[in-house]
Structure 1
């Protein structure tokens, strides 16, 4: 039996410093009056120092018992610190449910999302289709069959939502792995194999042919917020969200600078995107200024800005199958059929990323002046119809 060096009476009044009890157990007394137990062991030729708790909560006898236990672990060739961490993870296993880890992953992801993800679109595929079935299951137990069962009801009918849910779930699993949890990082790919190829055939957003755009543009003659927003969207080829959230401070010297976080589909969400405004587009801005509220050119009647569906409803009420997003296709087709714009310029018109990462690294231009000339020609085209 090992001979101990410390007495209980000494431990209570030990001076500041390190006091050896023998066989690797030490009492460390700090200048602030606190004290803790520490065990030194050697594993695989490497010295490890392991805290065993504070003096206020761990007595001398308890510290010696704990030291005996962890020394035996070390003697078997197992790192006692890693073993304790493993045991702690095992005890916490039931608390690391898919929902808890998913919410933690969402918090970590928020900085990359528009408006810190307040709109909920990133999390909603999980919230609606995965967590109701698997939310209370420990994430370490989640396998491909669980995922298959959760997503099979929407795999063909709501293919895009199912794809997003699978993508988000993969991110959550990687977050769990980063936490040190024993998750199957291949579970989503395995589930995809089990689910099979989706029968869903994606449909492009219906779009007016570019030759029909002038007639529609001419029909937006009323100086209402909805008409003006649609006209501006058509003239710029930008998605509806940046148009709806257009703030007057974003326009300077005929250039509209869209903050990077407002740009969907770009790899670098921190990079701003410049849109040269045609004379026609600047005229729309002037017409919208009387409606401006808190700097936003297209406010709603109640608060905030017009909703995502406002412009679409106008087209729907007219019995049109086409939707606002389709005007981006109208512009792109016009560029291909009526201009000699290089592909990289045409794609940049729609804020699409082109070329390899190396090509993009060396390409230090956004083709602003080329796009300015093309958008001026596009504005001439769309505003060419007579207003009846």
Structure 2
């Protein structure tokens, strides 16, 4: 009786084609149409319709089938892709996951990013997408840059403790309370970012520093506002049709903040509605929600005049480039020897609403773009009170233009 000797089973944990390597050529990589092509040993080429492609390494480890990207064909030549695939096959033969090993090495490399100045810049980069205008204005980073990094920037982040933070922020803790608070918050974010990179930092250091610094004595001061009774006379003085006068007029008529007004673009206005992008609204956590501003007849007339000055799509351009600045409007009021500032007209409007109308609180706060109620309440309330605000702002326009200031009764939507 003859015994049939069977060949040993081939280990298929990496790829069925391990015995057949280097099946592709550089010409094939460059000219192959859309599709998936095996080079053997788990290395695959995924070509797209546009001619581009991606290297992918397929493997099985711990009974789990996985794919790991090795880069695009435009950046990784065939030779390099094969070398990387061979390194990955070696890792698999050691019963390890190449993807996890790559992540581990990245974390080790990131741990060399250890100075606070490097961590701060990396944290800033990772948050740019959630900041207004990608943080171009630098307001997020400036408290760190001005008050923290000069002293602690070159200190390894793992060595920073509450005493270092206290000594750094103590000079401004009371005199520049708001700036100090922002610097402390940004520093806390940097410490969390360092921890996410795998560094051994004290995540409680900022809270401990707050305890050492004590409660801030500084109290915020309100921006001076013109009493609502004096607004009509000031509005009447803004009559020369310049960009500054028109900007102040629309600021008064709408009650918006100066930022959205200065960057007002023609396409944001449709009919009698001005839609401010959510990203331009200060203090709103949900930047996807836009804010609608009803424009009175007087406001529309101001917009019509402003269009004569429009440049680059902006209704309120500056003399040289960009848009009119906050300081330009403020200087006009300074030259008139007024204590009030442009932002204060929001308070003027709010006081007029409270003292001369019976407008419900929710509507009055919505006029100023404030978020009203908790998250649950807002999820059930689908209105932005646009119709009520349209009537209210029409009456405000009548008042500031000297056409009357009768009491107005507002009924809140259910």
TM-score (ref. length: structure 1): 0.79
Which aligned pairs between 1:1-388 and structure 2 lie closer than 5 A?
Answer: 16=18, 32=82, 35-36=86-87, 37-38=90-91, 49=96, 85=104, 89=108, 93=111, 95-384=113-402
Aligned partners of 1:88, 1:254: CA distance in 2, in Å? 54
* Structure 2: tracts of 5 or more residues without a match: 1-16, 21-39, 44-81, 405-414
The question of whether the paired residues in 2 share the 8 Å contact of 1:140 and 1:183 is answered with yes
User: Number of aligned pairs?
Assistant: 327
| Displacement of 1:364 | 0.7
The question of whether the paired residues in 2 share the 8 Å contact of 1:266 and 1:351 is answered with no
The question of whether the paired residues in 2 share the 8 Å contact of 1:94 and 1:138 is answered with no
Aligned partners of 1:182, 1:270: CA distance in 2, in Å? 36
The question of whether the paired residues in 2 share the 8 Å contact of 1:218 and 1:385 is answered with no
Aligned partners of 1:30, 1:94: CA distance in 2, in Å? 33
Deviation track 1:75-122 (CA, whole Å, cap 9, x = no partner) reads xxxxx979x959974x86453211111111111111111211111111
Deviation track 1:243-290 (CA, whole Å, cap 9, x = no partner) reads 101111111010000111111111212211100001110111111111
The question of whether the paired residues in 2 share the 8 Å contact of 1:125 and 1:162 is answered with yes
| Displacement of 1:188 | 1.4
Aligned partners of 2:186, 2:151: CA distance in 1, in Å? 15
When the two chains are superposed, the root-mean-square deviation of aligned CA atoms in Å is 2.6
Aligned partners of 1:261, 1:81: CA distance in 2, in Å? 39
> SS at 1:366's partner residue?
coil
User: Cα–Cα, structure 1 residues 371 and 88, in superposed 2: closer, same or farther, change >3 Å?
Assistant: closer
The question of whether the paired residues in 2 share the 8 Å contact of 1:215 and 1:385 is answered with no
| Displacement of 1:149 | 1.1
The question of whether the paired residues in 2 share the 8 Å contact of 1:214 and 1:385 is answered with no
| Displacement of 1:17 | 5.8
TM-score (ref. length: structure 2): 0.74
User: Cα–Cα, structure 1 residues 290 and 87, in superposed 2: closer, same or farther, change >3 Å?
Assistant: closer
